[in-house]
Amino acid sequence: MDKVALRFLLRERRALIAPESHGLSRPARQGRRAPGLSQAQIDQLLHRAPDTYGRLESGRYANPPVDLLEDVARLLGMNEHEWVALWRYALGQDPPHPLNARAGEAVPGTWQLALDGVTHMAYISDRSWNLLAYNEPFAALFPGRRVPANVMRWMTVEPEARSVLRHWETSWAPLVLPQLRAAIAADPEDPTLCGIEKEVLDDPPAARVYESARAYVHPDGSERPVHHAEHGPGWITVCAAQPMAAPRARLLILPFRAGEHHSGGRLRPLRASG
């Protein structure tokens, strides 16, 4: 627990919430000049015993329960960054799930500027693999620059993909389809993912791989064969990351190397010197 950082985070967020916005009056007792909700008002709004929130903010609440952290974070209007910080300061670990169940559906618009500055193919997709942003090198990968609306659907069931993704049945499907299974296991109610799964099961080659899919392996660092629409056969290396403000969204940077044959080796891991 980091009591100092926890207290600063909660006080800062609490100060931004006007009591009047919750039908409460601003405490006027002598000596209290702090803006925002009082600690007692938070207990009142959350239907908690007196001093519950005060113990949390002061660092006197060892191992606060998940439901208390969720209630406090939502009342104080925390974003996903602050939600992660709250867990790290209060419990010394990352939260088990995003604060917002639909987190990962949007990213800040500045990400398009970032992608435009990347010379490799690069794109960002949301939690359901809907394409949010991409750069021109990524568009050039596709015949006629027809960029798909959903990357997962394109990779798994779109006929055109099987001419772009070389050796689809052995080099792509066994790695991509487990990602779909893992995503549906984490969010079985997602209508986009469920729709893609139905299309996969209706497609015999995809269904065959899907139904025998091995455990999901993160794609970061893997090299896969493609047929680039403008540069011909080659290989892309998958560099995967996640925008911090959008849990479950994905940033993919895909360096391309022309040629028929696999490079035969991996680059050494990057570590700090000294």
- pLDDT tens digit sequence for 249-263: 899 999 999 987 776
Listed range (1-5, 72-76, 100-104) with the worst mean pLDDT: 100-104
Q: What is the pLDDT of residue 105?
A: 74
pLDDT digits (tens, 9 = 90+) for 194-212: 999 999 999 999 999 998 8
Q: pTM of the entire structure?
A: 0.73
Q: How far apart are CA 104 and CA 80, in angstroms?
A: 10
The pLDDT of 228-255, averaged and rounded, is 91
154, 144 Cβ separation under 8 angstroms: no
Q: In terms of pLDDT, which residue wins out, 13 or 102?
A: 13
In terms of average pLDDT, the best of 19-28, 78-87, 224-233 is 224-233
- The whole-chain average pLDDT of the chain stands at 89
| For the chain, percent of residues with pLDDT exceeding 90 | 64
Question: Model confidence over 125-146: pLDDT tens digits?
Answer: 998 999 999 999 999 999 999 9
118 has pLDDT over 90: yes
Q: What are phi and psi of 197, to 5 degrees?
A: -60, -40
SS3 content of the chain, % helix, strand, coil (to 5): 40, 10, 45
Q: Any bridge partners for residue 241, and if so which?
A: 251
